[in-house]
Amino acid sequence: MSMWDNLRQATTYLHKLRLSRGRDSYYRYKLKRDYERKEADRFDDSATASAGLEREKAERAREYESRYARGREGDIPPERANEEKRPGPDH
């Protein structure tokens, strides 16, 4: 091939490439569609992660309450615990 044939092929390739990547091309449509899909995936992942964190936080709060409720029950002397359970004369 001569140099002119190579130059003509390169020019034709660049022209097709420029047309295929124009504003209304399928290439742009596909890029936008992929971007939106990945953005939705990232949003779903972050929503899943935040829901998991909220679940863990609620579970820790329940564990904390149950642990310290048992601790508070253990701090009350047995005589006083019985008195609190029985209604007094003024009840």
- Which one is predicted more confidently, 34 or 75? 34
Domain residues for the domain of 45 are: 27-78
> Scanning the structure block, which residue is given the tokens 């899943």?
48
Q: Do the domain assignments include residue 7?
A: no
Give the model's confidence band at 90: pLDDT under 50 very low, under 70 low, under 90 confident, else very high: low
Q: Do the domain assignments include residue 74?
A: yes
How far is 25 from 20, CA to CA, in rounded Å? 6
What is the total count of domains within the chain? Answer: 1
Q: Do the domain assignments include residue 87?
A: no
Q: Do the domain assignments include residue 55?
A: yes
Give the model's confidence band at 19: pLDDT under 50 very low, under 70 low, under 90 confident, else very high: confident
pLDDT at 59: 93
Provide CB contacts within 8 A for 84, sequence distance 6+.
76
Q: Is 31 helix (H, G, I), strand (E, B) or coil?
A: helix
Cα 73–chain centre separation: 40
pLDDT at 8: 92
pLDDT at 83: 57
Q: Do the domain assignments include residue 17?
A: no
Q: Do the domain assignments include residue 20?
A: no
Torsion of CA 59, 62, 64, 65, to 10 degrees: 170
pLDDT (tens digit, 9 = 90+) per residue, 31-67?
A: 899 999 999 999 999 999 999 999 999 999 998 888 8
Q: Do the domain assignments include residue 41?
A: yes
Mean pLDDT of 2-18: 87
Q: Do the domain assignments include residue 34?
A: yes
